[in-house]
Structure 1
Amino acid sequence: MRPFEIAGTAMESSVAVDSSTREETTVTVAVELTERDEEFQLLDRLSAIARQESVSEFKLFSNKARNIGIEENQAFFERVIKSYRGKLRCYHHIQKSRETQHEIEAVHTALLVDSVLDPYEDCVTIIDGGEQKAKPVVKALSGLRDAIPSVTHCLKSETYYPQSLLADLVASYLSYRVHRGEYNYSNPLLRAPHAQHSGDRWGEAFSAMKRQSEQYRVLDLAELQGNSPSQRVQCWYQGGMARKDAEPPSSSSITPIIKLADKGFDDAKAELERLR
């Protein structure tokens, strides 16, 4: 896997964040990986669980969590969460005042990123969506830390990065359970505390988001957009971000990437071969 390149500097570590909102309930999940190669392992494990649980709607680099029915695939979602508990951080929020969904998601994201990273640690921080989703996140982060990590946005990131897909799957399942009153607060499958119970940090992040201070600057990082699953595999492999008006990769051949799966990633290989 190629590292991310920001202005010519290689970076391996990343945090992907995604949210799921069902009426007044929002859950946001962060997934941290220290090396790019971990995404291949993640792709393999997700593929294996989906195959073992017969989840026909699971289609890498194409479908998102909302394409997979939760009740009929409960075992799949729960096995995914159990497999990656150590890499998952999340918050939930039940809207009762005037804050908007986008404001909640932005503050959640800032709180999670700040809790995952050391005060001056940097990594590629992938925000699902367009530039308008990344702007309030950077503002909110400025209320929590002096050093803002390398935040970038990626349109439909769940269809490009297995790391983002994992965040999407977990957020979708937990928001469903919380919204239906079925989340076990005393013995949860995954701890998802209420974000407003995080002391002064919620207020600090929210206030900073409202101020017109820190600005989001689009990173000098490869911009690639795939029009097919195989092209999105190439974007993922090259560490490119899907942005508005971005060009597709120069090649949509994924044969060289499939060969990487010969190193023991049989389930990932089978899923990738379906995309030829």
Structure 2
Amino acid sequence: MTMDASTVGDTTVTAAVYASRELEPAILEAIYDHGSGIEFKPFYNKANDYEHAVRRDFTEAVLQEFPEHIRVFSHRQSLDGNEDTQQVEAVHSAIHVHDILNTVAEPPAVIVDGNEQQAKPFVAALGGLRDDRPLVAHCQKSEFYYPAALLADLVSNHLAHRINSTDTMPRAGELVIPAPRAKHHRGQDWGQAISATYRNSPEYTPPTLPALRGNTVRERVNCWYEGAVMPHEGVDEPMSDSVTRVVNALQRNGYDDLAEKLREL
């Protein structure tokens, strides 16, 4: 499970993508297919590399393929106060994870985009909602490493632009996916989570996961395959930038077209 937030003007939108490793190739394939018209390149591009108007249709097309795997909260400073966008993102993310944990038998691993300073307030906010905690890791520039994180980046940025462009909150049905204001619609959870960020927070210790960084697209594809995170810039690169094993795995699972795209990198 991955989260990402975008702030445009006074609007912050946090998107969570709940997707298994088995679903990620489908997300990656959809991003390649719908992004071909604007030459969007996963593992290389992110939302802010393109003007919103240029990527609007592309983002909505991808979003519409996976609506059941995406959850969104919004926050408008003019309506909700609180200008601390990092705190808002942490609280939004905590409520997203809390909701997922209440509906699944097997807790997912949670990847927080950014460094430890992003992970710590999230862990604190989640502690205000529940005692148990899933595996939580942080990954800098996660949108370059995980297709699900790239989807969260695209969705949060698109909806932040869309909501901020109106004087009032868009009504239900005006957005491709609902983006309720968490402070208004989830007031009790918001209050508990935000209060917890002011208390002594639970310790956050990064888990023992493969830690790699990719300086090229092929290296980042390998990091994704390994299930690696980049906790900081000082970690090593993959031993090889060959994508053969990734291509073979995709072909075994029926993703022949996607495998060919990666082979050509």
- TM-score, normalising length from structure 1? 0.88
1:219 aligns with 2:201: no
Task: Determine the C-alpha separation between the residues in 1 that align with 2:108 and 2:54.
Answer: 37
| Deviation (angstroms), 1:73 | 3.0
Task: Determine the C-alpha separation between the residues in 1 that align with 2:111 and 2:258.
Answer: 22
Deviations 1:151-209 (A, max 9, x none): 11001000000010011111011000001018632313100100102031101000001
Secondary structure in 1 matching 2:13: strand
Task: Determine the C-alpha separation between the residues in 2 that align with 1:72 and 1:194.
Answer: 26
User: Which amino acid in structure 2 is aligned with residue 125 of structure 1?
Assistant: V
| Deviation (angstroms), 1:121 | 4.9
5 Å matches for 1:116-135?
A: 116-118=100-102, 121-135=106-120
**Paired position in structure 2 for 1:31:** 17
1:170 aligns with 2:155: yes
Identity over the aligned pairs, expressed in percent?
Answer: 38
**5+ residue gaps in structure 2?**
none
Task: Determine the C-alpha separation between the residues in 2 that align with 1:73 and 1:167.
Answer: 14
Comparing 117-126 with 205-214, greater Cα deviation is found at 117-126
Secondary structure in 2 matching 1:123: coil
**Paired position in structure 1 for 2:192:** 204
Task: Determine the C-alpha separation between the residues in 2 that align with 1:115 and 1:196.
Answer: 15
Q: 124, 128, 146: which is aligned to 1:161? A: 146
Q: 1:269 to 1:79 in 2, by over 3 A?
A: same
Secondary structure in 1 matching 2:64: helix
Question: What is the aligned-residue RMSD (CA, Å)?
Answer: 1.7
Comparing 142-151 with 265-274, greater Cα deviation is found at 265-274
User: Which amino acid in structure 1 is aligned with residue 259 of structure 2?
Assistant: K
Secondary structure in 2 matching 1:200: helix
**Paired position in structure 2 for 1:258:** 247
Secondary structure in 1 matching 2:18: strand
Q: 1:264 to 1:98 in 2, by over 3 A?
A: closer
| Deviation (angstroms), 1:98 | 4.1
Q: 1:24 to 1:39 in 2, by over 3 A?
A: same
User: Which amino acid in structure 2 is aligned with residue 156 of structure 1?
Assistant: K
Aligned residues: 257
Q: Is the 8 A contact 1:124 1:151 kept in 2?
A: yes
**Paired position in structure 1 for 2:134:** 149
Structure with more of its chain in helix, by fraction: 2
